[in-house]
Chains A and B, each alone.
Chain A
Amino acid sequence: MTKQLIVSSSPHAHSGKTTASIMWTVLAALVPAAAYSVYLFGLPALTVLLATTVFCVIFEGLSNFMMGKPVTLKDGSAALTGIILALTLPPGLPLWICGVGAFVSIVVAKSVFGGLGQNPFNPAMTGRVFLLIAFPAPLTKWLVPTGTGEMLFNKPVSAFDAAGNLVSAGAANVDAITAATPLGLLSEEGAKAVMGMDTSTEFLIGQINGSLGETSGILLLAGGIFLLTRKIISWHIPVSFMAAVAAIAAITHAVNPEHYAGALFHLLTGGVFLGAWFMATDYVTSPMFTRGKLIFGAGCGVLTMVIRLWAGYPEGVSFAVLLMNACVPIINMYTKPKKFGLQDLAAKKEAANA
């Protein structure tokens, strides 16, 4: 027989779900929120999105080339890092700062550790935190949503000035108006400043100022639930993350409502949804076991609130995720389930008989 048959080790069947298909699915889940940010902020958002993504892809390719490794652009992980990074940045950020962020994300946080799968810290988070520390001023210059937004909702999109008053952004002064984010306001002025805000609807839909991705809670939630249904992520990290945030906010608010904002405010503002559904769930930098995921998620939530309430920064999601990333090896070590055949047989028997 001349015909060459392919010989390989079993199994000879595969689920069909590949690293690339997973990455592109996560990317697709982020598209609505990203598109909404463009709709809300216009060109300044689009340029940040494009810049970080393109820079990330370029740096990934360059890293591959310099390290003599096969080109890994097709797996979509670099593009995904770019999109997530963009969503944590304020619209209108100078392009060169976007480039620095992409460099830190892809080269410093990922490639030097050996590329995909080897990085201990979430690349996009590392990039964002680096930018926040290196360039505090441009990173906290928040554009007020403007432009196209008011056309659709048929009413001015709202933002809050430093004193907590509602300000309307006219179409005339497109990128002139900046204002503190609700969280920034809370941090500086206390809960009184944000008390008058109509939290639920506006925050949920996303008619507030902030980074590209912290504006629309509902679209991020939809993306997250999409990932849940496609079994890309499990519920453990997002739910424990959000539960911890809500619990701490509820308790502190109950103790001192004058000073601390409520659970809904903390859930819907800042990067909780983006962090809980898309960043903390990054496979590479999160625990592998169910119990570990719950601990990790809750830890992220607790640290987020500690930073928000008692530390210098108004927002703590990215720090929280990075700090918990560092704990992943030890979490994995202590949450590894017992292998099959080590269970207490007597107890199981009783359970079966009951």
Chain B
Amino acid sequence: MTVLTFKGGIHPKYNKDNTASKPITSLAAPKEIVIPLSQHIGAPARACVEKGDAVKRGQVIGEPGGFVSVPIHSSVSGEVKAVEPRLGAMGVAVPCVVIENDEQNEAVEFERLADWKKVSPDTLKDKINAAGIVGMGGATFPTHVKLSPPNNKPIDTVILNGAECEPYLTADHRVMLEHAEHVVEGLQIIQKILNAKTGIIGIEENKPDAVSAMEKACEGTDIKVVRLEIKYPQGGEKQLIDAVLKKEVPSGGLPMDVGVVVQNVGTAKAVRDAVVDGIPLIERVVTVTGSAVAKPGNFMVSIGTPVSVVLEHCEVDLEKAGKLILGGPMMGFAQYSAEPPVAKGTSGILVFEEKDVEVTHPLPCIRCGRCLDACPMRLVPADIAAYSDKRMYDKADANDALDCMECGSCAHQCPSQIPLVQKIRLAKSEILAAKRKKG
């Protein structure tokens, strides 16, 4: 079987063996749950509960703040203790609903749908919207928005992203193994909504068991399972489309410009659960691993569970820890505290011992060209970073800083260990700020 790929990219150490074979186990929700009102790209949700209110599992506690926004649901039953800012994954306090879990696990009545094939696409989309589903690969873009392309952009292909190219993470891998049918059903629902004829599931070659599981689940359907080269960032939306369909999404454009929508396999499962079982997005699979984790694994975690609770369960000695990352090592966010809660986009929790954390001392650029060989967007990261250093943001813009998706391939390769992504990110925010100012 042919193996598909894109140009550029890198081969980081994958380190998935510790958790790839560990089945997903449920983690009991703790006494106190902290649910951020913004777990997605777009407008934050508005709290619709107050201190003292009783809430049930699956009840809406935050209403969407606009079209590009989603509702937030309680993941436990109990009493609202506060609606207040708490430390979030971005290092600053964000508005959260704090709920005291009464451990009764009393849920609202989930509205089941026996046969979704008979329901209109708009109804299906409303159900997805109401379930608060966002892209679960980490980007957390509201799914119903992605499923609402303008009329002049017909979608012919839906690609499910099962690449899971981030090192260490195995959550998607386990979902594909354990919920193959649900993932496929989710893809079929998405295809129906978009009226897309072709459905493709792309999986990196290092997950042969997932490939066969998905192939089995796809029997009797038109859905194709394709193998992808083991390369980072194979799961980048534009790279995945390039690999699978040999189509380049135009610069500044979206996959729908080439008639494609990409969804993560975890998102497809969430779509299916929302449509068929009526269950909103209140829990997700999280890979917990790293050198400081005594008992690594893949866990079904209630949204709002503080990271510290998860780490306690996995017997992590935070005194020995040097670095705590939410997400993968390539694009995840380092935390200074284990206080932030698990949110809809938290695909992994990585903890490394201090001895395994390299504190880098950048040297001058030697123009070796490794960054541009690695860049999947064919940019020259070293140049953009240099312009960023000199605050020449217009030049950084002219060098296509805004095309950077911050995958981190360049910085991973840089022999001078220059924090290229950090510098480019700064340039990007300055460029965007200047553009907003101009209007």
Contacts and interface: CB of A to CB of B under 8 A. Distances in A.
A3 interface: yes
B325 A12 contact: yes
B30 interface: no
A173 interface: no
Interface stretch (A140-148, A281-289, A313-321): A281-289
Main SS of the interface on chain B?
A: loop
Contacts of B368: 22, 283
Given A284-B367, A288-B367, A340-B403, A9 B378 contact: no
Given A7-B334, A342-B251, A14 B360 contact: yes
Given A11-B412, A15-B12, A345 B366 contact: no
B416 A341 contact: no
B323 interface: yes
A339 B377 contact: yes
B365 A117 contact: yes
Contacts of A255: none
B400 A12 contact: no
A5 B322 contact: yes
Contacts of A118: 364
Given A8-B419, A14-B360, A283 B367 contact: yes
Interface string B399-432: 0100100101101111111010110010000000
Contact of A11 (B319, B364, B408): B408
A17 interface: yes
A18 B323 contact: no
A115 interface: yes
A269 to B, nearest CB: 30
Contacts of B323: 5-8, 12
A341 B253 contact: yes
Given A3-B318, A12-B325, A348 B366 contact: no
B248 interface: yes
A11 B366 contact: no
Contact of B357 (A3, A6, A115): A6
A207 B304 CA distance: 75
Nearest to A69: B364
Contacts of A345: 247-248, 250, 258
Interface in A43-76: 72, 75
A95 interface: no
Interface string A1-44: 10111111111111101110110000000000000000000000
Interface of A: 1, 3-15, 17-19, 21-22, 72, 75, 114-118, 283-284, 288-289, 336-343, 345, 348-349, 351-352
27 contacts: A1-B337, A5-B324, A6-B323, A6-B357, A7-B336, A10-B406, A10-B421, A11-B329, A11-B411, A11-B412, A11-B421, A13-B13, A13-B408, A14-B412, A14-B417, A19-B415, A19-B416, A22-B415, A283-B367, A288-B369, A341-B250, A341-B252, A345-B248, A345-B250, A348-B248, A352-B246, A352-B247
Query: 4 tightest A-B contacts by CB?
Result: A11-B408, A341-B251, A9-B422, A352-B246
Given A9-B334, A348-B248, 14 more contacts: A3-B321, A6-B334, A6-B354, A10-B408, A11-B409, A14-B417, A15-B412, A21-B415, A115-B364, A341-B252, A342-B248, A342-B251, A349-B246, A352-B247
